[in-house]
Amino acid sequence: MNQPRIVVLTGAGISAESGVRTFRDNGGLWEEHRVEDVATPDAWAFDPEMVWRFYQARRRQLLEVQPNGAHLALALLQKNMKQFTLITQNVDDLHERGGSSDVIHMHGELRTLRCEASQRSEVRMQASDLTDDVSLCSCCANPVRMRPDIVWFGEIPMHMEAILNAVETCEVFIVVGSSGHVYPAAGLVDQANNAGARTILVNLEAPVNASAFDEILLGPAGELLPQLVDRLISDND
Ligand code: APR
């Protein structure tokens, strides 16, 4: 049987059951912090220490959390599908640690830092990289400050060409754990619909763009996604 080309887009909700806070739920990160204070280029220019402390705390948290059943289910789906692309808005590394490969991180990654001069990113997760002290790059003759390797509000998401290529040619498009507020990620379902794909949503509550989906599965991703993955695998054996 011809397997469908599957694209999955994940958001903060997929990591919620691992203990990573989402942004816009009750108790989410944006309840405690103003986006303008910690997640914009202006914030970094105005108060780099505050921005640095915010991201260093989140980087340290990576050492304490584990992938959940939803991350593992997507790794299983990838192993069973010939044409599969995983796009995530998440900056954690739980997809990779759950067994997924070639994950496209459109909003950057916590485990890497970026040299402000060369723009080169490198994995920096040693204990000495995780303190509140400034990290200096290893690529420049005169080492310069590194910034979080995160796409802030007002910056262009990463890998957009690869993302659009995958979405515009997919046959099944699945979104997991995203509130549908942040573009361009929230608009990818429209591109998938235009491409004629079947669009499926797995989310705790109906997001703002719920009406764009053909099938909506409401509940915790750790429970619902393994069931959906089993169904997709057995439908396409
Ligand atoms: N299972 C499934 N969905 C869940 C779960 C769960 N266990 N827990 C929460 N959710 C859902 C919530 O109902 C919500 O709709 O996940 C969604 C999380 O939404 P947001 O916090 O807005 O996260 P996300 O959509 O990924 O945010 C997009 O915003 O601040 C930026 O750059 C940040 O990448 C992020 C972007």
Asked if 43 contacts 37 with a C-beta cutoff of 8 angstroms, the reply is yes
Whether residues 89 and 181 fall in one domain: yes
Residue ending a domain, choose from 92, 127, 150: 150
Indicate the number of domains in the chain: 2
> What spacing in Å lies between the alpha carbon of 62 and ligand 1's midpoint?
17
Question: What sign has the CA pseudo-torsion 137, 143, 147, 150?
Answer: negative
User: Could you tell me the distance, in angstroms and rounded to a whole number, from the CA of residue 185 to the centre of ligand 1?
Assistant: 12
Q: Are residues 188 and 124 in the same domain?
A: no
Residue 1, pLDDT score: 63
Q: Where in the sequence numbering do the catalytic residues fall?
A: 107
Structural domain ending residue among the three candidates 150, 166, 201: 150
CATH number, position 125: 3.30.1600.10
Q: How many CB atoms lie within 10 A of CB 78?
A: 20
Residue type, 181: H
Statement to judge: residues 161 and 135 lie in one domain = no
Specify the residue with its C-alpha closest to ligand 1, atom 9. Answer: 13
* Residue 234 sits in the same domain as residue 132: no
- Closest residue to atom 14 of ligand 1, CA basis: 179
Same-domain check for residues 188 and 237: yes
Q: Are residues 127 and 236 in the same domain?
A: no
Q: Is 181 near ligand 1, meaning CB less than 6 Å away? A: yes
Whether residue 70 has its Cβ less than 6 Å from ligand 1? no
* Low-confidence stretches of the chain (pLDDT beneath 50): none
Domain's final residue, options 122, 150, 178:
150
Give the pLDDT score at 225. Answer: 98
Q: Assess whether 57 and 80 both reside in one domain.
A: no
Spatial distance between the Cα atoms of 128 and 211, rounded to a whole number of angstroms: 47
> Does 169 share its domain with 130?
no
pLDDT given for residue 11 in this prediction: 98
pLDDT of 30 reads 87
Q: Is the dihedral of CA 188, 153, 145, 97 positive or negative?
A: negative
Q: Three-state SS string across the chain, please?
A: CCCCCEEEEECCHHHHCCCCCCCCCCCCHHHHCCHHHHCCHHHHHHCHHHHHHHHHHHHHHCCCCCCCHHHHHHHHHHHHCCCEEEEECCCCCHHHHCCCCCCEECCEEEEEEEECCCCCEEECCCHHHCCCCCCECCCCCCCCEEEEEECCCCCCCCCHHHHHHHHHCCCEEEEECCCCCCCCHHHHHHHHHHCCCEEEEEECCCCCCHHHCCEEEECCHHHHHHHHHHHHHHHCC
Looking at ligand 1, which residue's alpha carbon is closest to its atom 26? Answer: 11
Could you tell me the distance, in angstroms and rounded to a whole number, from the CA of residue 13 to the centre of ligand 1? 4
The domain containing residue 114 runs over which residues?
Answer: 21-64+110-150
Question: Distance, CA 28 to ligand 1 centroid (Å)?
Answer: 9
